[in-house]
Structure 1
Amino acid sequence: MIDIDNVTKVFGAGDAAFTALSEVSVTIAENEFFTLLGPSGCGKTTLLRLIAGFEPPTAGAIRLGGRDITRLPPNQRPVNTVFQSYALFPHMSVAQNIAFGLEMLGKPKAEVKSTVDDMLRLVRMEAMRDRRTSEISGGQQQRVALARALAPHPEVLLLDEPLSALDLKLRKEMQIELKRLQSETGITFVFVTHDQEEALTMSDRVAVMSAGEILQVGPPRDIYERPAERFVANFIGESNFLNADLAGDSVTLAAGGTFPVRRPDGVRDGKVSVLVRPEHITLGGAGDTLRSTIENVVYSGEATVAHMVLPTGEPIKARLSNAPQGDGALPGAGSQVTIGLAPGAITVLRD
C-alpha cells in the first residue's frame, strides 16, 4: 500500500540545518496495522506528515498503491489523519462532526446520512449522535475523531499518538478498539507512538526509529524477543544487558555459565553484549549456575521485581509473577540467591 523509498527530510539550511529523516525506506502492506515507534524527536511524526502531504521530503519518493504521491497536496491523497488533539468542532454535534468532511466533499445528503449512521455503529456511539463534542468524555471524543476520519473511506488512516491524552484504563480499552476498527474496515492504519505497550498490543508490524532512522522492522514478537541491537532491546520492555564471550553457537557469561544461543548474522566470535529479559529469570532451584546478591525487592501488584547484582558488579533484575494467595516472600536485601535462565533466554546483540 505504501512504499517509502530512500526518504530524507532536512529542516532549515546551512549551520541551522537539521536532518529529521535520513534515507528512510520501508514498505507498508495493504490492510496492515503498522506502527512507527520511538522516543520523542526520532522522526516518526515527521514521517507521518510526509505520508499525509503536510511536509515535502527533501529527497526520496513516496508511493501509495503504486502511484507516486511525493508532490501531491494533502487534499489529493486518499489519506486521512487523526491528530493527538482530535481537532473536533465543539459547537457541533457528534453526527455533525462525522458528516463535516463528507459534506465538504459534496456527497449527497442521503449518502452522508447513511455513512454517518454506519460510522456511529462502528464506533458504538449511536446514543451520542446529538450530543455536542464539548459535552462528551475524552474517550468518546477520540471515537468521534476516528469516525470522522474513517467516514470518507480513505485507503490509509494516519494516527498521530491519538491515545496519549487518555487515562491508563481507557487507553488500554481503546487499544483493543483501534485494532477492532482496523480489522473491520480493512483500511491500512499507520500509527505513531512512543508507548511500547501500544505498539506491541495493536500492531501487525512495528518499525523502531531512532535519530531519523529505522533500526528494525518486524512483528511485535520478533521485535521484543529478537531485537537486532541494543537500542531496540532497551527501548522495548525491561532489559538486562550482560557481558559475554561468543564462541560458535554458545556464549559464556562474564558472571559464569555457558549457554546455547542463536547466533545473529554478521556477529563474530569474541566479546559481545547479550540481552536477558527479567521475566525469563528464576530465583533458586536445581541447575542454577549464576549467583547474585539482592539489593532491592519491589512489589507491583501482578509481579514482584528483584533487583540484584552479580559477582562481576553487573546489575540484573528478575520479574516474578505473583501467585494467587501466595505469600510472595523473597529474601531481603543483602541475601545471596542463585539465578536460573529459561531456555532461549539469552539474545546476542549487534553493536
Structure 2
Amino acid sequence: MRNLRKVYPGQPPVVALADASIDISDNEFFTLLGPSGCGKTTLLRMIAGFEHPTAGALTMHGQNLLDLPPHKRPVNTVFQSYALFPHLTVAQNIGFGLEMLGKPKAEIKKTVDEMMALVKMTEMADRQTGQISGGQQQRVALARALAPKPRVLLLDEPLSALDFKLRKDMQLELKRLQTETGITFVFVTHDQEEALTMSDRIAVMSAGEIRQIGNPRQIYDQPAERFVADFIGDTNFLPAEVTDISGDTATVRLSSGTQIAARAAKSGEGKGKVTLAVRPEHASIVPETDGLLSGTLEQVVYFGTDTHYHVAMADGTAFVVRQQNRPDAAAQFNTGDRVGVQFAPGIGQVLRD
C-alpha cells in the first residue's frame, strides 16, 4: 500500500484514511488495530475491492489490484457476521465458493474434506449451520474463505460475536490456521489482546492515520507516541524532564527530583519537558523510603493472578502497580499506607506530548 487515501464528500469532507503506506509480507499475520472509526475497516475494504481509494496505489507482487474488481482479486474476506447459508450443510457451505468457480466435483470434495479437517469440523459435515454453535459457525466461515486458497485472507473483527473463553480459544486457532496454510492474514480488530496474541506485526491506527508499525513486543514495550502507549495495555504517565540524552537513552528528572535513565522513543531529540511511560507490571510497591516515587496507597484490587495497587502521588499523579500473586506472598501494604514506587533504570519510555 502506498499513500492510500480515502475522502468521503461532505461539508466538510471526511478523511477516513490519510496517506497509509504499509508493506505486508507473504505468510504474515498482520493486524490493523485501533479504536472504532480509525480507518482500519476502510483500509481492509480497499484491499478487498469494496472501496476505491481517493488516491494512492495498491499492489500485490507487482500487480495493480486497483485495476481488478473484487471477484478477480486473489483475496477472500471473513466478516463479523459469518453470512453462512442456513439451508446448506457445513460441507455445502465450505464448497459453495468452489462450485461458483466451476471446480470439478472431485476437486471440490477433496478440498472440502481438507478444510473440514483443518478446522476440526469433519464430524459436523452433514449438519446445517443453524444446528451448530457460534464458534463452530466461525470455523465454517473460515474454512469456506480458505477453500479457494486465496493469497490473502482478510478478517474484519471475526471474533467479536464470541464469548470470552471461546474468543481466547479461537485466537490460538486462527494463528494455527495461518501457520499451517501459509496464507497471509490481514486482521482488523479494536481488541489489543487479540492483536498482541496472534500477530507477527501490528499497525496501530488513529483518526485515519498509521501511528506505529512493529511486532507485538515493539508496540508494547517501545511505543512511539503517547496514543500508542495509552491504547495498548495499561500505562502510567509521569511528568518528567529530560536533562541529558545520548542516542536512544535519556536521563530524566522525575517530580520527586530523582534522576533515572529511560528509553527515548526517537533518538536525537533534545532536552525539555516530556512524559515518562511506565507499564504497571514493570514497577513494584516498596517501603516509602526505598522508592523512586512516594505516595498514598488508595486502593488494593485483587485479581486472582495479580494484585493492582493504586497509588496517589503528592503532585496528584495516579500510578498503578501490578504485582503477580504468589502462594507464599503475604500482604505487606494496606489502603491508606504511605508507600514507595520503584522501577528499574531504562524501563520507562520517554514520550513527547
TM range (shorter): over 0.9
User: Are residues 1:281 and 2:277 paired?
Assistant: no
User: Are residues 1:312 and 2:315 paired?
Assistant: yes
Residue 259 of structure 1: aligned partner: 260
Cα deviation for residue 262 of structure 1 reads 2.5
Contact kept? 2:290, 2:340, Cα under 8 Å: no
Contact kept? 1:50, 1:56, Cα under 8 Å: yes
User: Are residues 1:205 and 2:201 paired?
Assistant: yes
| TM-score, length-scaled by structure 1 | 0.96
Residue 83 of structure 1: aligned partner: 79
User: Are residues 1:297 and 2:294 paired?
Assistant: no
Write the deviation string for residues 203-249 of structure 1: whole angstroms up to 9, x where unpaired. Answer: 00000000000000000000000000000000000010001111222
User: Are residues 1:146 and 2:149 paired?
Assistant: no
Counterparts of 1:255 and 1:155, CA distance in 2: 55
Write the deviation string for residues 35-58 of structure 1: whole angstroms up to 9, x where unpaired. Answer: 000000000000000000001001
Residue 18 of structure 1: aligned partner: 14
Question: How many residue pairs are counted as aligned between the two chains?
Answer: 346
Cα deviation for residue 289 of structure 1 reads 2.5
User: Are residues 1:58 and 2:54 paired?
Assistant: yes
Write the deviation string for residues 150-182 of structure 1: whole angstroms up to 9, x where unpaired. Answer: 000000000000000011111011000000000
Counterparts of 2:207 and 2:291, CA distance in 1: 40
Counterparts of 1:134 and 1:255, CA distance in 2: 62
Write the deviation string for residues 46-103 of structure 1: whole angstroms up to 9, x where unpaired. Answer: 0000000001001001001221111321001000000000111111110000000000
Counterparts of 1:326 and 1:291, CA distance in 2: 22
Cα deviation for residue 333 of structure 1 reads 2.4
Structure 1 pair 53–137 and aligned structure 2 pair: CA distance change class (3 A): same
State which drifts further: 86-95 or 336-345: 336-345
SS in structure 2 opposite 1:75? helix
Q: Which amino acid in 1 is paired with 2:98?
A: L
Q: Which amino acid in 2 is paired with 1:342?
A: A
Counterparts of 1:144 and 1:123, CA distance in 2: 8
SS in structure 2 opposite 1:178? helix
Residue 34 of structure 2: aligned partner: 38
Contact kept? 2:292, 2:342, Cα under 8 Å: yes
Counterparts of 1:278 and 1:148, CA distance in 2: 42
Contact kept? 1:119, 1:147, Cα under 8 Å: yes
SS in structure 2 opposite 1:304? strand
Query: Runs of 5+ in structure 1 lacking a partner?
Result: none
Counterparts of 1:222 and 1:330, CA distance in 2: 34
Counterparts of 1:338 and 1:7, CA distance in 2: 49
SS in structure 2 opposite 1:141? helix
Counterparts of 1:84 and 1:304, CA distance in 2: 35
Residue 214 of structure 2: aligned partner: 218
Cα deviation for residue 332 of structure 1 reads 2.6
Q: Which amino acid in 2 is paired with 1:273?
A: T
Cα RMSD of the aligned pairs, angstroms, is 1.3
Counterparts of 1:16 and 1:98, CA distance in 2: 44
Counterparts of 2:276 and 2:77, CA distance in 1: 40
The one of 187, 194, 197 aligned to 1:191: 187
Residue 247 of structure 2: aligned partner: none
User: Are residues 1:9 and 2:6 paired?
Assistant: yes
State which drifts further: 15-24 or 149-158: 15-24
Contact kept? 2:239, 2:255, Cα under 8 Å: yes
SS in structure 2 opposite 1:320? strand
Counterparts of 2:270 and 2:27, CA distance in 1: 39
Q: Which amino acid in 2 is paired with 1:108?
A: P
Counterparts of 2:146 and 2:67, CA distance in 1: 24
Write the deviation string for residues 183-222 of structure 1: whole angstroms up to 9, x where unpaired. Answer: 0000000000000000000000000000000000000000
Cα deviation for residue 266 of structure 1 reads 4.5
Counterparts of 1:325 and 1:244, CA distance in 2: 36
Q: How does 1:37-186 map to 2 (within 5 A)?
A: 37-186=33-182
Cα deviation for residue 16 of structure 1 reads 4.7
Query: Runs of 5+ in structure 2 lacking a partner?
Result: 245-249
Write the deviation string for residues 297-326 of structure 1: whole angstroms up to 9, x where unpaired. Answer: 111121111111112111101011111254
User: Are residues 1:321 and 2:324 paired?
Assistant: yes
Counterparts of 2:104 and 2:292, CA distance in 1: 73
Cα deviation for residue 256 of structure 1 reads 3.5
Counterparts of 2:309 and 2:87, CA distance in 1: 53
| TM-score, length-scaled by structure 2 | 0.95
Contact kept? 1:11, 1:18, Cα under 8 Å: yes
SS in structure 2 opposite 1:262? strand
Q: Which amino acid in 1 is paired with 2:151?
A: E
Counterparts of 2:122 and 2:72, CA distance in 1: 31
Residue 339 of structure 2: aligned partner: 337
